[in-house]
Chain A
Amino acid sequence: MSTAVRNDIRRLRFEHNEMTQQELADQVGATRQTIIAVESAKYAPSLELAFRIAHVFDVGIEQVFRYDAKK
């Protein structure tokens, strides 16, 4: 089961000194399993968590997440 919310978290982590999922999880106040689920588009995060993830990468939310209307 996957959501219509796609993301570029994997690429952004790679571009930020190959940040681990655990490091991202700790910075946004989530568990590593949640980051795994978000990254694989199995879980659509809340708006607040989405903003927090974008804030960690210092980019806009639309540069991290996008809506896949076909899904």
Chain B
Amino acid sequence: MSKQERTSWALLILNLIVGLWYFSAVFTMGPGLIMGPQLGSLIARIVIVAIVIGIAGQIVMNCLVTKQRDAVDLDERDRLIGLKAFRNGYLALGIAVVILMVGLFVLTRLAHPATGELAIDTNEFAFKLDTTFIANLLLCALVMTEVVVQTSKVFYYRRGY
């Protein structure tokens, strides 16, 4: 396994852990709490855990490599795979943005005109259609794009492109 492929695996796992953790917490906080001290605490915890996982992952991957290392870290095939993965990520981001645009258009029609509260509020999911909520949706799209990019890289490396 090349260094680039190992990096892709590590970034994919890290993105999935951090993304799932952050968004599962944020989208169940409910309106009002999303901008409160809870969010700051959550972000601080995630950053610390991400750093720890990153360092631990690097150590584990370096221990796993027992064969002779390559003279170059990145060659033409790695660059080509990177470009193809980036293209897939761009496509995914485009699709996500269109879905978000349509979704937000529909949500604005469902939201209360004065408060922005949504009619679909439940105890688990209480959304308020404000800038923080929209920013988190966009952040979610960016994280998913990164997941698509890293998954594509892993796919191309594994398939033997």
Contacts and interface: CB of A to CB of B under 8 A. Distances in A.
Interface size grouping (class) on chain A: 10 to 19
Nearest to B4: A31
Interface residues of B, number: 19
A30 to B, nearest CB: 4
Contacts of B77: 30-31, 33-34, 37, 43
Nearest to B157: A33
B76 A34 contact: yes
B73 to A, nearest CB: 8
Given A34-B77, A37-B77, A43-B77, A29 B159 contact: no
Nearest to B72: A29
A59 interface: no
B63 interface: no
A32 interface: yes
B65 to A, nearest CB: 12
A31 B78 contact: yes
Nearest to B74: A31
Interface in B1-35: 1-5
A63 interface: no
Given A25-B70, A26-B71, A33-B2, A1 B160 contact: yes
A30 B160 contact: no
Nearest to B77: A34
Contacts of A42: 159-161
26 contacts: A1-B159, A1-B160, A22-B68, A22-B70, A29-B72, A30-B70, A30-B76, A31-B4, A31-B70, A31-B75, A31-B78, A32-B70, A33-B1, A33-B2, A33-B157, A34-B75, A34-B78, A37-B77, A37-B161, A40-B160, A42-B159, A42-B160, A43-B77, A43-B160, A46-B76, A49-B76
